[in-house]
Amino acid sequence: MNFDWIPEEKELADKTAALFDPETRSELEAMEQAGLEEIRAITLRRLGRLAEIGYLHVGTGPEAERETTALIAAQEQLARLSGSLFLAVETTARLFGGLLEGFGDGQNVTDILEPLRRGELIAAVAISETEERDAPEGPVTWARRDGDGYVLTGRKSFVTNGPIADFVAVLADSGGKSVVCLVERTNEGVSVGPRLRTLGYNGLAVASIEFKDVKVPAKRALGPFDSRQPLDYLTLMQDLVLTMASVGLMHRAVCDAKDYAQSHLKGGKPIFRFQEIRFKLAEMLTLAQTAQLLAYRAGWLYSLGDKEALGVMRCAKVFSSEAAEQVTGLAMQITAGQGYLWDSPIQRAYREAKYASIAGTTSEVARMAIADELLTRRQV
């Protein structure tokens, strides 16, 4: 593996970092306290700028696998700047956009893909079913055949971008096969619940969405699929996004803790001169660097089409998500009372770190899958 970025990969990463001047960074800080209208406006502005440099196009088209290393180089830059914006953008571009690129009929989805590539719309992907005690076993969201199209009924929970999305891709069951319905948020029968207040990523708009007899024309349905291919794609891409979110989060925590250690005095000298602080900083950097390299390796293997890529991706997600919890915990120890204040970036990072281990493929499920794959190998 070559550990140097090739010029094309570095170019996109550098362009991504260059988009975020001090004024933009202030806007992203405001996003963490904003209402839905302002979050939508900020997200659209940033999507438009990212579209100009080609960020929204990478990793979703026919060359998606080969572009993975360029993608993660750019993703890391965006994730370092704002976790909330990063997750909103990736849900639109990679999850929703990748579904359309990989599984949609080109002519039928062009009217959605073109504005999406220009950064003119926000999208969501509804996967998680709402589990209720009195619900029957089996899928909660289903798509019933209605002529050439479908009628969609059900309820999805924890939909990222749900309250601000123009389109929602809804994974549904249709007679034992999977269908992805592309639904406009304003369609009749679509009811978006109140915004959910989450522990972290406060600049992200999340809600449950109910679908009641929503008519979906044939051109707005992907599938039906006999296999799990669309779901497997979403799982892989979601895990990649969450991995890079953790890598970016750790970078922010290391930088903030280092700055504090260099500027805060104890006994008349900066606290970085104390061995216990230096050990913590070293541990933080070691974990962050290891997570970064494992994420790069996973992306590199995926770009080669290597059969071990999925297993390594799961390893990367487990390690990076749990390392992010350790790194932010150490940062909180270094910054102490100052880090515990509500307006501190450290407390925000501390709250956000938990998300990656419980979202996408959870750490427990990922470990089971990693072990299953290991046990089927002839050689380790």
pLDDT in tens, 1-37: 566 778 878 899 999 999 998 999 999 999 999 999 9
Same-domain pairing of 235 and 345: yes
State the pLDDT at residue 137: 54
Rounded CA gap, 330 and 290, in Å?
A: 16
| Local structure of residue 220 (DSSP, 8 states) | G
Q: Which two tokens stand for residue 109?
A: 């989805």
State the pLDDT at residue 347: 96
Same-domain pairing of 358 and 313: yes
Same-domain pairing of 190 and 266: no
Please identify, among 71, 99, 121, the residue that sits at the C-terminal boundary of a domain.
121
Same-domain pairing of 249 and 200: no
**Number of domains comprising the chain:** 3
In CATH, what number is assigned to the domain containing residue 359?
1.20.140.10
* Position 152 in a domain: yes
The count of other CB atoms within 10 Å of the CB of residue 229 is 13
Please identify, among 184, 201, 225, the residue that sits at the C-terminal boundary of a domain.
225
Q: Is 165 left (phi over 0), alpha (psi -120 to 50) or beta?
A: beta
* Position 146 in a domain: yes
Same-domain pairing of 173 and 260: no
Same-domain pairing of 177 and 306: no
Rounded CA gap, 192 and 208, in Å?
A: 6
State the pLDDT at residue 126: 96
Same-domain pairing of 240 and 353: yes
281 lies in which domain range? Answer: 229-376
Whether residue 132 contacts residue 192, with contact meaning beta carbons closer than 8 Å, is answered with no
State the pLDDT at residue 60: 75
Stretches where the chain sits below pLDDT 50 are none
Rounded CA gap, 38 and 84, in Å?
A: 13
CA 375 to chain CA centroid, Å, is 29
Strands 123-126 and 167-174: parallel
Same-domain pairing of 264 and 180: no
Same-domain pairing of 361 and 238: yes
Same-domain pairing of 349 and 274: yes
Please identify, among 76, 93, 121, the residue that sits at the C-terminal boundary of a domain.
121
